[in-house]
Amino acid sequence: MKKVAVYTSGGDAPGMNACIRAVVRGAIYHGAEIYGIRYGYNGMIKGDMKPLSSYSVSNIIQKGGTILKSARSEEFRTKEGRKKAYESLQENGIEGLICIGGDGSFTGAKVFYEEFGVAIVGAPGTIDNDIYGTDFTIGFDTAVNTAIEAIDKIRDTADSHDRIFFIEVMGRDSGYIAIRCGICGGAEMVLVPETATTVEDVINTLKVGKDRSKTSSIVVVAEGDEIGGAIEVAAMARKAMADADIRVATLGHIQRGGAPSAKDRILASRMGLSAIEGLLNGRKNVMAGVMKDELVYTPFEHAITIKKSLSPDLLRMVKIFNS
């Protein structure tokens, strides 16, 4: 391949720029012309792309967000939209693509390959860490560090006022952020989508803490927990603990922003280079990942359909540390 393009799709994640940088410089090193597609699949449909040089990606490794912008594309979900995207790539002579995104982005890439034969290699960029085929995804480590910093500060005010805080972190289908924040933040309980927990379990845990003269507590809630988000769980707890001062903090999109951690910069750089070298060497319809510190390629089909399980050791740690 002599002419390829890179794009970011779906939710942004710290480290995406480091990945873009690695893709661009890797392509140039191997003698390929590299283009950047703006606004993900929307930009692909509209032909919003421009050539990238080594200078184009200077001074971005430390920046959060994505210089290529990102957007969700309803049009690309249709066969007509994907046909427009294919025609746009043909008009610009693009022979292969690097997709930096999560499961929704990879689902689109898989369908695009099956319908039009466009060679695509992915790099997993999502703070949720819910993609099979890699131990960690780009942005996860930074998101956890950001959330921990916030939880530590909330703990201070909880201690000062003898309050119970229910803190909601991101994780619609995954409890990876929540479980690590719970351990690192010393939470009394962690609610995640992967395990079934009842309101009674939450109340009993808090009451046990109170009986041990604990004056403040932190409960970390993944937004996708089956009971509900932090607001819903806190409302149920108030009914059973009328004398408790219960508050809610939803960390929200702050977890997606900020400068990527050193770990995310290294991870994104490894994945970006692996993705572009894989594409140039004939790989397609696969995702570049890192497992046990080794670079691996996983078919999109597996990356998006195989459930990535939460470590039982982490769940066990939460239980032991707060017993």
Ranges of each domain in the chain: 3-139+260-305, 141-256
Identical fold at 3-139+260-305 and 141-256?
A: yes
What's the CATH number of domain 3-139+260-305, 3.40.50.450, 3.30.465.10, 3.40.50.10490, 3.40.50.11030? 3.40.50.450
Could you confirm whether 103 is annotated as catalytic? no
Tokens (6 digits) for 115: 């319908």
- The residue from 12, 103, 128, 130 that is catalytic is 128
Q: Please give the average per-residue pLDDT across 279-289, as a whole number.
A: 98
Q: Which of 7-16, 63-72, 85-94, 195-204 has the lowest mean pLDDT?
A: 195-204
Q: Is the pLDDT at 323 greater than 70, yes or no?
A: no
Q: 118: number of CA atoms within 13 Å, CB side?
A: 30
Q: Is the pLDDT at 173 greater than 80, yes or no?
A: yes
Q: Is the pLDDT at 316 greater than 90, yes or no?
A: no
Q: Is the pLDDT at 166 greater than 70, yes or no?
A: yes
Q: Is the pLDDT at 211 greater than 80, yes or no?
A: no
Domain formed by 141-256, architecture: 3-Layer(aba) Sandwich (3.40)
Residue range 98-134, pLDDT digits in tens: 999 999 999 999 999 999 999 999 999 999 999 999 9
Q: What is the pTM of this model?
A: 0.95
Question: Mean pLDDT, the chain, as a whole number?
Answer: 95
Distance CA 39, CA 69 (A): 5
Distance CA 81, CA 130 (A): 27
Q: Which of 143-152, 223-232, 271-280 has the lowest mean pLDDT?
A: 223-232
Categorise residue 269: left if φ over 0, alpha if ψ from -120 to 50, beta otherwise: alpha
Cβ-based neighbours of 301, under 8 Å, separated by 6 or more:
110, 285
Tokens (6 digits) for 249: 């903090």
Of 208 and 231, the one with more pLDDT: 231
Distance CA 219, CA 211 (A): 17
Residue range 28-61, pLDDT digits in tens: 999 999 999 999 999 999 999 999 999 999 999 9
